[in-house]
Structure 1
Amino acid sequence: MKPSKEFIKKGLYLSGIMNIGGVLVFSRFFTNKVINEADPVTMSNFGLLMIVVWGLVFLAIVPKWEHLKWVIGVFVIEKFIYGITWSKWIMSNDLSAVYKADTMAGIYYTIYGLNDWLFCVFYLLVFIYLSKLEKNQTDNH
Structure 2
Amino acid sequence: MTINNKLISKGFILAGVMNSSVLLFSRGFTNKTINAYDPDVMSNFGMLMILIWGLAYISIAYRFKNVKWLVAVFAIEKLIYGCVWLQWMMTNDIGNVYKEDKMAGIFYSIYGLNDWLFCVFFLYVFIRLLKQQ
Q: State the TM-score, normalizing by the size of structure 2.
A: 0.98
User: Which structure is larger by alpha-carbon Rg, 1 or 2?
Assistant: 1
Q: Which residue does 2:117 correspond to in 1?
A: 118
Q: Which residue does 1:5 correspond to in 2?
A: 5
Q: Structure 1: which 5+ residue stretches go unaligned?
A: 135-141
What's the CA shift for 1:113?
0.1
- Per-residue CA deviation, residues 13-66 of structure 1 (Å, 9 max, x unaligned), is 00000001x200000000000000010000000000000000010011112111
Q: Which residue does 2:32 correspond to in 1?
A: 33
Distance 2:2 2:107 in 1: 32
- Correspondences of 1:6-25 after superposition (within 5 Å): 6-20=6-20, 22-25=21-24
Q: Identity over aligned residues, as a percent?
A: 56
1:63 aligns with 2:50: no
CA RMSD of aligned residues (A): 0.6
Counterpart amino acid of residue 74 in structure 1: V
Distance 2:124 2:48 in 1: 27
Q: Structure 2: which 5+ residue stretches go unaligned?
A: none
- Per-residue CA deviation, residues 59-91 of structure 1 (Å, 9 max, x unaligned), is 111121111100000001000000000000001
Counterpart amino acid of residue 17 in structure 2: I
What's the CA shift for 1:132?
0.7
8 A contact 1:95–1:109 mirrored in 2: yes
